[in-house]
Structure 1
Amino acid sequence: MNVRTLPPRPDAFDRNLLLRALAPADRQLLAPLVEDVTLTTGQVLFDPGQDVTHVTFPLDGTVTTLLVPLLDGRTIETATVGREGALGGVVSQGYLPAFNRAVVQLGGPALRMSAKQLQEVKQTSPAIRNVITRYADCLLAQVLQSVACNAAHPIDQRSARWLLTLQDRLGDDTLPVTQEMLADMLGVRRTYLCGVLRGLQAKGLIQIKRRQVTITDRAALEDAACECHARVREHFTEVLGAIYRDDGKLVAVKPDAAPAPSSALAVKAL
């Protein structure tokens, strides 16, 4: 992995919502084990079949995507991970071969640590284990909902869902994405997607400019999207105690305020 590593800055834990939710004592357990990394747009964090050796926690403005590559060269997005979460050895115990590809969609800062060390810390800290277990459940829910969405919903609804998901993680109406990037995520040709985006723009939902898409009417875009975006948000709220602003930005997770985990959430495989 081509990254620049440094010791974590003092405010780094506050720039990832999972880490921010931890008590000071639990942060101190992780602090000696994590390092600052700078991720670049388009960087592949792992590919199918590679051992997942590290867990990455994106910080403000950094967004990664889990993709399933197909034999015909297309890739299909299954989950988007930003400052609300982590990827790499989160659902599994780490150091297992990856099934999918993890790509940096919007480069920026992140924290990284050994997947093995995270598993060891989880055994000593119930709070860290609880946060990671709950997030793993939410990540799996996002993957499963994406599978259903890709199979059942038309491209205009899927496009709206992806734009809303990205805005949730960035908290900004202007999304620094290209039409080519969005087409790759959705597994369609760029020329086809251009027509879809122009249709959303004609309805006053978005504005398209070079290398960016601006959401001009979020409420209407939510109405134009399928139910998948809302269902994933609801699950994040129920399981992880996610808190959203009126403009959609995910601003905090409070796992202690969420209901006690069921036996399904406590499965060791998570």
Structure 2
Amino acid sequence: MAEPLNSDHRANRLLAALEPADFACLEADLVLVDLALKQVLYEMEDHVSHAYFPHDAIVSLVNVMKDGTTTEVAVFGREGVLGLLSAQVSHKAFGRYIVQMAGSASRVSLERLDEVRNARPGLRQLIRNYSEALLAQTFQTVSCNAIHPVEARCCRWILSMHDRADQDKLSLTHEFLAEMLGVQRSTVSTVGRTLQEAGLIRQSRGGITVIDRAGLEETACECYGRIRQIYQRLLPATYP
């Protein structure tokens, strides 16, 4: 297998925020993995055996309805960990964990992570802070999906990707963006044209380039800023 794009576990900011002694207890059990675009890490009701700490990969947790319709519930990047919080009791995945931007991650078995968390108060507190931030993010996202117009939601989503990707070119298709927002592809195409005509983004085959970030922030709904504030309050060292 090829060497992962980023071979430093501390490229994940949650791991980087750990005290050296806490990180040392976990380091030997972390495994570097590459995550491919659209790779499904867990399907709904799958047994969750490992947690993933993304580096430059970005993963969405989406809810899948009986008719196949999907909508994003949470997003995970270098600021967090996925798989841990949905496996505390039943060890079953809440929904589908799908890679929306390829990259690397650090993987560890939940059994070992629980052992270290129980033994190290610093890690335990960091995960508690992250749990609260993620719950608040999910609460805000659900509210956003219910009441805000698609254009504002689309801007929020692009900005959240931009934060985690740390680059202006985002490898996103209209089809994938429509799945994440829970709308028709034609709706995303219309919104994309509007944002491009306003000079906020540039669209190309298989990608969106952020041109005017400040303009996107002005067009996005209040949810983007609120989610950022929550992360910066609870995890100041992990969110850009």
CA contact (8 A) 2:87 2:93 kept: no
- 1:27 lines up with 2:23 in the alignment: yes
How far 1:95 sits from its partner (Å)?
5.8
Greater RCO (Cα-Cα under 8 Å, separation 6 or more)? 2
Q: Which residue in 2 is equivalent to 1:181?
A: 176
1:31-69 superposed Cα distances (whole Å, 9 cap, x missing partner): 12111111111111111111211100111x211001000
Identify which of 53, 58, 70 aligns with 2:54. Answer: 58
1:90 deviates by 2.9
Distance in 1 of aligned mates of 2:189 and 2:86 = 35
**Alpha-carbon separation, structure 2, partners of 1:209 and 1:125:** 47
Q: Distance in 1 between matches of 2:16 and 2:94?
A: 29
Shift of 1:181: 1.2
In 2, Cα distance between equivalents of 1:243 and 1:54: 21
- Corresponding residue number in structure 1 for 2:154: 159
SS in 1 for 2:28: helix
Q: In structure 2, do the counterparts of structure 1 residues 242 and 28 end up closer, same or farther at CA, with 3 Å as the change threshold?
A: closer
Q: Secondary structure in 2 aligned to 1:86?
A: coil
CA shift digits 1:2-39 (9 cap, x unpaired): xx698x99952221000111122111100121111111
Q: Output aligned runs, 1:98-137, within 5 Å.
A: 98-137=93-132
Task: Give the paired residue count.
Answer: 240
Percent identical among aligned pairs is 41
Structure that is richer in helix per residue: 2
Which letter maps to 1:232? I
The change in CA–CA distance for 1:46 and 1:91 in structure 2 (over 3 A counts) is: closer
Is 1:40 paired with 2:36? Answer: yes
The answer on whether the counterparts of 1:93 and 1:115 sit within 8 Å (CA) in structure 2 is: no
Please tell me the residue identity of whatever aligns with 2:16.
R
2:129 paired with 1:138? no
Give the 3 Å change call, closer, same or farther, for CA 241–92 of structure 1 in structure 2.
farther
Q: What's the Cα RMSD here?
A: 2.0
Runs of 4+ in 1 over 3 A off after TM superposition: 8-11
Unpaired segments of 5 or more residues in structure 1? 245-249, 251-270
> Is the alpha carbon distance of 1:82 and 1:94 closer, same or farther for their aligned partners in structure 2, counting shifts above 3 Å?
farther
Cα deviations by residue, 1:181-229 (Å, 9 ceiling, x for unpaired): 1111111111121001101111111111111111111111101000011
Which residue does 2:63 correspond to in 1? 68
**Structure 2 residue ranges without an equivalent (≥5):** none
Paired AA for residue 112 in structure 2: Q
- Is 1:203 paired with 2:198? yes
In structure 1, distance between residues paired with 2:155 and 2:110: 34
1: CA distance, partners of 2:214 / 2:168 = 12
Distance 1:107 1:123 in 2: 32
